[in-house]
Chains A and B, each alone.
Chain A
Amino acid sequence: MSESWAVVLAVGLGTIAIKAAGPVLLGGRPLPGRVQSVVALLAPALLAALVATAAVSTGQQLVLDARVLGVLAAALTIALRAPVLLVVIVAAATAAVARLVGIA
């Protein structure tokens, strides 16, 4: 049980420090132009990495399963300009149904 608390404490304090580092040390100062244009591209780069890894990886394995069908359904729903909640529901339902009928 004390191991659990060690993990909770270390991860919690570490994460709090990581999140605070930029805002506390940099404050309200703007970033230089070139840094700014790199930072502007962090969102698409990291979000795409999160999409890719969450869709087709489990631990260190690349896996194609029902999640892929869910994400494809989500992409179609996004193209139709649906709200985010509907996108998420369509993805989850598609993956659940695919597993239920055993096609993925």
Chain B
Amino acid sequence: MDESAPIRFELRRGAVTAVPLGIAVGLFGVSFGVLSATSGGIGALPAIVMSATTFAGSAQFAAVSIVAGSGQPLAAIAAALLLNARYLPIGVSVAPFLTGGPLRRFLHAQLVVDESWAIAARGEGRFDPHRLIGAGVVLWLAWVAGTIVGVLGGEALGDPATLGLDAAFPALFLALLAPQLNGRRPVVAALAGAAIALALVPFTPAGVPIIAAAAAALIGLRPR
């Protein structure tokens, strides 16, 4: 009847797919809030503002831990932005599928995080923009709400490591990676990406190994 029906379907589908991830992301938001609010972190209100604007867990954790550890704001900023540099190629990958004016594209681009991007991937470099938006909104709400709960709860919550939450991140990314491994090339790119990242970990600041792993995608230049 109207063309908004399939759009609503994909928005819903993105949102529903993101709910299980949203629970994990929300719990990480709680631990981010706890870490930020307790002594040496960046404080409660900056933590909430950071979650709402930066919306990138690994970079935020990196920034807060550097501020708490060394009190070097420039090092914290550099590490966080390096960790987020992967959103440059990720943004380029979704760019052809985000439509509308510059402001609309600008706002939709902010909903891109690793998880919403993976949910929106339809294979062979295609992305569903509505799934991306549905998933992005759910994940943003979970991340910000989790952060607020964390800064309010403060030290009441236990160590995230005791709860095994640090193992949830790689597990989550593995679950997102598995469906992408649907051919020889993606498997080779994945193995090469992991190898590059691990080889660089001891020698480069956090964040650089993940950016460098993007080079593995260059095998796409080889003729089939």
Contacts and interface: CB of A to CB of B under 8 A. Distances in A.
A16 interface: yes
Contacts, number: 324
A42 B90 contact: yes
A11 B80 contact: yes
Interface residues of A, number: 78
Contacts of A54: 166, 169-170, 173
Interface stretch (B4-12, B142-150, B181-189): B181-189
Contacts of B92: 21-22, 26, 31, 39
B53 A38 contact: no
Interface in B96-116: 96-99, 102, 105-106, 108-110, 112, 114
Nearest to B81: A14
A67 B214 contact: no
B125 A92 contact: no
Nearest to B217: A41
- How many residues of B sit at the interface, in one of the four size bands? 35 or more
Interface of B: 19-21, 23-24, 42-43, 46, 49-50, 53-56, 59-60, 63, 67, 71, 73, 76-77, 80-81, 84-99, 102, 105-106, 108-110, 112, 114, 117-118, 121, 124-125, 161-178, 180-181, 185-187, 189-194, 196-198, 201-206, 209-210, 213-221
21 contacts: A8-B46, A8-B50, A10-B73, A11-B77, A14-B81, A15-B81, A15-B84, A15-B87, A21-B88, A21-B91, A23-B95, A27-B102, A31-B95, A37-B221, A42-B214, A46-B90, A48-B177, A51-B173, A52-B193, A53-B210, A70-B168
